Amino acid sequence: MKAHHNLSDAEVRAGIHNGQIRFAGNARLRIYGTLHCISGKRMLRRNRMFFVSLQEAAAAGYRPCAHCLRVAYLKWKNGTV
């Protein structure tokens, strides 16, 4: 897990290109989703956290986004995860 405000723009681009950054989460709301999610693009830089995998985000206590990860969100909501 990496905080966006601790990374330069070049480090973020390199992390995405190298596969070290695949998902983003909102530290305040404890929600994670894809990098292309419309909801995630609106979050403030100081609240954005980056994850390598869904498992890493879930282990950190984040829940799936209801927009971009609908199936995972419904499983989480129904308690079947």
Note whether 22 and 51 are within 8 A (CB).
yes
**Count of beta carbons in the 10 Å neighbourhood of residue 11:** 15
CATH 3.30.70 fits 2-78, yes or no: no
pTM of the model: 0.89
> Average pLDDT in the 12-37 region?
95
What is the structure's pLDDT at 17? 95
pLDDT digits (tens, 9 = 90+) for 52-70: 999 999 999 999 999 999 9
Query: What's the start-to-end Cα distance of the chain, in Å?
Result: 21
pLDDT band at residue 39 using 50, 70 and 90 as cut-offs: confident
Note whether 22 and 53 are within 8 A (CB).
yes
Tokens 């966006």 found at = 4
pLDDT band at residue 40 using 50, 70 and 90 as cut-offs: confident
